[in-house]
Amino acid sequence: MSARIIDGKAVAAEIRNRVASQSAEFQQRSGIVPHLAAVLVGEDPASAVYVRNKQTACEKAGLKSTLHRLPVETTTEQLLALVARLNDDPGTHGILVQLPLPRQIAEQRVLDAVTPLKDVDCFHAENVGLMVQGRPRFLPCTPSGCQQLLIHAAIETAGKHAVVLGRSEIVGKPMAMLLVQKGLAADATVTICHSRTQNLSEIVRQADIVVAAIGRPNFVTADMVKPGATVIDVGINRVGDKLVGDVDFEAVRAVAGAITPVPGGVGPMTIAMLLQNTLRAAELQAI
């Protein structure tokens, strides 16, 4: 058996095209061009690539994107001052502060400072709380991208056991919250595993759906996966000159029923969902 490949590039392209069409209609109706402000502090090469990809995707979808580059020695107060200016700017609808930030910056203070109506990453406590209560303003980009892949691949989740590997605020926790809600690609019974989980391999082996977001290359091996399970690989790790996920792709592919590749799986979805959130932010602020 060889797993069906869940093509994130194709699904993301479909979502980006839909956002472009909806954005054009919104602009014609309101005269407002949805505008994403991206903030990049320092010279981290991976972060620079991510931000450039987000900008390119915005432009292709007819959204405006502005990059604010700050030097690596930027202080928390200086970054907060920029966020405050963007909060107050009616022409800026979404604010993205690229993570990770340099060590000297108080990351949580910065994320908390982004006004909830412009928090297109869904990191603010207000937006997280709304999501947990099942009445989201925005959905977190990577977890909602994973959910869209499950929907497009017609993966049955209701009543199934989903195991999320990782408990980060960006992926692990919100992914679990989305899967346990009522609705499409949800209604699952969810277990979160992390670095302190005992008998982790045994727990993962029970899963009908595995979401790997643990940040360790090739961590999920074939013997950890139930035959026929769906495996969503959020990880992106550089090993030598190759990008690999948190899942040993070739080995697990022989066991799983469906699997996302790295690259070309979850990554494109994150950007597509960011565009969708930016458009929604502009629509909410136009009301």
Catalytic residues, by residue number, are: 54, 98, 121
SS (H, E, C) the chain: CCCEECCHHHHHHHHHHHHHHHHHHHHHHHCCCCEEEEEEECCCHHHHHHHHHHHHHHHHCCCEEEEEEECCCCCHHHHHHHHHHHHHCCCCCEEEECCCCCCCCCHHHHHHHCCHHHCCCCCCHHHHHHHHCCCCCCCCHHHHHHHHHHHHCCCCCCCCEEEEECCCCCCHHHHHHHHHCCCCCCCCEEEEECCCCCCHHHHHHCCCEEEECCCCCCCECHHHCCCCCEEEECCCEEECCEEECCECHHHHHCCCCEECCCCCCHHHHHHHHHHHHHHHHHHHHHC
